[in-house]
Amino acid sequence: MDSPPQEYTSVLKAIKISLFILLASYSTYAQTGVSIPANADIMAHKTDTIAIFSDVQNHGRFGSIKGAVVLFFGQKWKNDETALLTDEHFYNDTVPGYGGTFRFMQQGATPQYIYGAYNAGTHSGPSFPNISINNPNGVYLDDLSDLKIRNNLHFENGHLYLNGWNLVVGNLSPGIISGYSDRRFIVTGSNVGGGFLYREHVTPQDKQVVFPIGTTAGSYSPLAVQNLEFTSEDFRARVFDNVYRNATSGNVISGNNVLKTWNVGHNASTGSSSYFVWLQHDAKDESPAFSLLREFSYISLYRTNGGWDTIPPGTVENPGKLTNGPLSISSYTNTRTFPGGLGNNVYFSKSAALIPRAISSLGFNAYRISLRMVETNWAASREVNILQYELQRRRENEDSFYTVKVVPPKTPRSTVNQNVQYYTVPDDNFYDNWTYYRLKILGLDGLVAYSEIRKVPWFYEIKVSPNPSNGIFYVSLYGLPKPVRMEMYDMAGRLHNTRILTDTNTRIQMSRLSAGTYVLVFYDMEDKGKLLDRKQLIILK
């Protein structure tokens, strides 16, 4: 008798293994499907392929090793709060845990549901090692339950609907989300309230971390963040339809906007970290006015005391690249840097200048070079109808900005479609506290725009010596007649020491620490904890 074709052999093997596991774990099958008892300890090894064709209620322990595949064709997978989905690390804590892949597969024209039993608020409950979405009808988070995936969420076909609940990807890392595109992504819902996609422990080493989300199956609106500081943070994000006057309430703003609002949060204890943000949208989500003025668009941040802010237009990238699939020619990405940090829960939208005004892209910088002098510079990638630039400053004890220098445009007829650099515009500023600088741009048509604000410290110096040391070292403060908070971290971002420095020269003994490189971070105690400086310290044993 001829051997069956290879594809049938694979299916028979899957069914055989599935039946073996169900019997070995004393599972029962009834109308409700497969029930894994609390005392069960199932293990799928790296060569195993398991097929489950009914619903699952997991009360026990369902382990898997990298290479194992669990094909789930049932309609609902439900975990108990005490259930476990273990991996290699559970059985041997000297090896990393990756685990097998749970593939949610189509069986008929119906969606599937996951009751993960995880709680994103308390960081507790069972979690899957890896999940792959392969159901064109979608996979939904079931009511009253969040879902956590420790390693990899992969999209083959279809969407993952949050359905008002939260999805956490990563375990002490941002994890991996792969296979996403404008046809396969995480649907957060179109309303103001709803679930978030969380990504854990985002650090500068992770660079761009993408949140492949959208409001509905046909409206892909992803975002990405980059943490520019050395600490790790958990980020969460969702997107909803429309832009509201008060971010989540009030009248809908239907003028020169993309009709989306991105809600981003993080767990940082202070707002001093810096971030880079990407927002991507599709042309079909633009208002008519925005479409006409797209090249003059920018990311707008909602401020509680001032509403949606206005900044000079920035660079628009087309097509957008926040995808693992083919680039969509109708997608556009805007970017913005937030050097002063973000609040723990913020809202972004996209706007465009109502009239094409002076600058299409502007980079402005200010920095102290001596006890008296501050240098500023800026670069315009395009100038249109510029009357003049005004360098403005506000010292810490002042209530408003004022002009300290007027700079005429370099370009003939005040218009040019190429880069224009304004180097080394100095300001004589002898002052012993923070100063804030911005650029005011005046157009020939009377319109006014402003650059982002740059904060510049007074002249001070923090020295750490000896460096390297044996763990006993001195911190010397010059020009800082105020309390300074020092925090000491290792290179993994773990805090080892916090203390308040009030003397100009302080002896610090940390000889108990292991040899290695540490980061000392200094904050101004009298000025809302503003960052003063960072120093690397090497401890030798």
Strands (E), 45-127: 49-52, 56-58, 61-64, 69-72, 76-79, 101-105, 112-115
Which helix (H) or strand (E) is 18 found in, with range?
helix 6-24
Lowest mean pLDDT among 272-276, 297-301, 325-329, 381-385: 381-385
Rg (CA), the chain: 28
Q: Mind listing the pLDDT tens digit for each residue in 74-87?
A: 999 999 999 999 99
One-letter amino acid at 312 equals P
Whether 7 has a pLDDT exceeding 60, the answer reads: no
DSSP alpha helix (H) spans, 463-520: none
- % of the chain at pLDDT higher than 90: 58
- Residue 272: pLDDT band with limits 50, 70, 90: low
3-class secondary structure, 368: strand
Q: Mind listing the pLDDT tens digit for each residue in 282-319?
A: 999 999 878 877 888 999 999 988 899 988 888 899 99
Q: Mind listing the pLDDT tens digit for each residue in 100-134?
A: 999 999 877 899 999 999 999 999 999 999 999 99
- Whole-number Å distance between alpha carbons of 130 and 150: 7
Query: Could you tell me if residue 414 is left (phi over 0), alpha (psi between -120 and 50 degrees) or otherwise beta?
Result: left
Using alpha carbons, select from 146, 142, 148 the residue that is nearest to residue 172.
148
Q: What is the mean pLDDT of residues 520-538?
A: 86
- Residue 269: pLDDT band with limits 50, 70, 90: low
**Furthest CA-CA distance within the chain:** 95
- Whole-number Å distance between alpha carbons of 530 and 485: 10
User: Rounded to two decimals, what is the model's pTM?
Assistant: 0.64
Q: Mind listing the pLDDT tens digit for each residue in 197-223?
A: 999 999 999 999 999 999 999 999 999
Please tell me what DSSP assigns to residue 63: E
One-letter amino acid at 503 equals D
CB 107 within 8 A of CB 137: no
- Residue 237: pLDDT band with limits 50, 70, 90: very high
- Residue 29: pLDDT band with limits 50, 70, 90: very low
φ, ψ of residue 284 to 5 degrees: the values are -70, -15
β-sheet bridge partners, residue 178: 154
pLDDT recorded at residue 412? 62
3-class secondary structure, 23: helix
Which helix (H) or strand (E) is 292 found in, with range?
helix 288-292
CB 54 within 8 A of CB 76: no
- Residue 16: pLDDT band with limits 50, 70, 90: very low
One-letter amino acid at 287 equals S
Indicate the average pLDDT of the chain.
Answer: 87
CB 235 within 8 A of CB 198: yes
